Chain A
Amino acid sequence: MSTDCNLTAAHPRGTAHHHPLVARGFTPDGATYRRGDLQFAIGGGWCRLRETAGQQPDFPWPPSPAPVALWKWVRNGPAAERVFEVPSWAVREEPDDDRFDADDRVALGLCLDWALATRSGRVPESWRPPARELVESWLPPGALTVQTDGLVRQGEMILQPDCWTMRIPLLPELPARLPETRAHALRELTRDAQSLWGMLRLALTESTGSRALFAEVDLSGAPPSEVLFAAGLDVLRQAAVRLIETAEALADDSLPLASLTIHR
C-alpha cells in the first residue's frame, strides 16, 4: 500500500478517490467501495474492480461473453472471479477530476468509466482508438520484440475501430495434439500467469487449423494515455520474457520433462 501514490483505502471518505467513486454509484464499505456486485479496492499497487458474484471453481471454458479491455478471470483462493485492474501509479485521483491529458496519469473517474463500459464484453460504439502515429511515438524501438534463452518472439499492436491491443505470441504455433499432461500444465501456466500479472490476459486463437497462444494487454475502450500504455507494455514484456521458455518447453513433446510425470 505504501506504493500507492497517496492512495489509501483505510478511510475512504477522507480520500480523493471517494468522490469519483461515489459519483458513479459506489458506496463505502469498510476499506472498499461497492456498487451492486462490484467491489472496488486499492492495494498492492493496483486499483482493482472485482465482481463478487459469478465466482466459479476455475476459469470458465471458454468464457462467455469474451472479455474485453482489462477484464479477465483470475484465481482468487479456491475460486475464480472477474477483475479489472490498473496500476495505481498510473491513476490520478483528484476530487471531481475527469479531465484528460494523454501525457498524464488517467483520472480515476475515467478508469472507472472505462471499466464499467466494457464490463459486458463490448467496447462502446462511441470509442475510437488513438491515432496510430501517436501510439507508435510512445513505443520504443524494438519494444515488441522479446528475446530470451535462444527464443525470439515478435509482438504486435492492433489498432482497429473497436480494438487497441498489444500482444506477444508465447507459442506462435501450438501443436495440434499435445499429451494431456502437457496440455494440462500449459493451461495451468496460462491461468497462473493471468492471475499473477495485472493487466495481462492470455489468449489462445485458432486460424486455418493452427493455434497460437498469446500474452496480451487489451486497452480497447481506454483513454489514450501514454502512462497507461507504458504500464501495459511493461507488463506484457515482463510476462512474455518469463513465460516463453516454459511455454515452449511444455509444448515440445520431444523434450522430456520429469516434473510432468510426478503428477500422473
Chain B
Amino acid sequence: MRTMEPDTLTVAPPRPPSLRFRATDVTGTMEMDVEDVQDSVPAGAVARTLAQRMELPTNVPWALRDDRGAFLVDDRQIGGQIEPGATVTLTPKTHLG
C-alpha cells in the first residue's frame, strides 16, 4: 500500500469497503440508493443515519428490515446481514408492539 499526504499511516490496511443497497421508508414513499456506508457499521447506526437523511423524526427508534422481512440486529455489522444490492426498509421500532 502506498501512503500519501498529509501524514501517513504505513501500517494501515486498505480503505474500509462500502456497501451499496437501496433503502425505503416503511410507507414506500421514500427511496434512496445508499453507496457510502461502510459494511462494518452496525445496522442500528445505519438506521439512525438513514432516518436523518429521510428527514424522519429522530426521537423515534428506528430499525432496518431486509427484503425478506427479517429485522437486522442493531449491534451487528450491516455488511454481515445483507447482500450488496439488497433493499432494506426503515421501520420505527415503536411499531413492533
Residues of A within 8 A of B (CB): 59, 61-63, 66-67, 72-73, 141-142, 145, 147, 149-154, 156, 158, 160, 162-163, 165, 167, 169, 172-173, 187, 190-191, 194, 201-208, 210-212, 214, 216, 218
Contact = CB atoms under 8 A, between A and B. Distances in A.
Contact of B9 (A150, A194, A216): A216
Interface in B50-81: 52-53, 75, 77
Interface of chain A, main secondary structure:
strand
Given A141-B75, A190-B6, A206-B1, A151 B11 contact: no
B52 A203 contact: no
Interface in B1-18: 1-16, 18
B54 to A, nearest CB: 9
Interface string B1-38: 11111111111111110100000000000000000111
B41 A214 contact: no
Given A173-B18, A207-B1, A145 B41 contact: yes
8 contacts: A142-B45, A151-B49, A152-B38, A153-B38, A156-B40, A165-B12, A173-B15, A204-B6
Contacts of A211: 4, 15
Contacts of B3: 62, 66, 203-206
Contacts of B4: 62, 204-206, 211
A162 B8 contact: no
Given A141-B75, A152-B37, A214 B9 contact: yes
A246 to B, nearest CB: 15
A133 B75 CA distance: 19
A180 B24 CA distance: 36
A207 B52 CA distance: 31
B92 interface: no
Contact of B14 (A187, A190, A204, A207): A207
Contacts, number: 127
Nearest to A163: B11
Contacts of A172: 15-16, 18, 36, 38
A173 B36 contact: yes
B84 to A, nearest CB: 15
Contacts of B77: 154
B82 interface: no
B49 A147 contact: yes
Q: Which of A162, A169, A205 is packed against the most chain B CB atoms within 10 Å?
A: A205
Nearest to B11: A163
Nearest to B79: A154
A165 B9 CA distance: 9
B48 A154 contact: no
B40 to A, nearest CB: 4
B56 to A, nearest CB: 11
Contacts of B46: 152
B2 A206 contact: yes
A218 B49 contact: no
Contact of A214 (B12, B18, B36, B75): B12
B63 to A, nearest CB: 15
Contacts of B41: 145, 152-154
Contacts of B53: 150
A154 B41 CA distance: 5
A153 B45 CA distance: 9
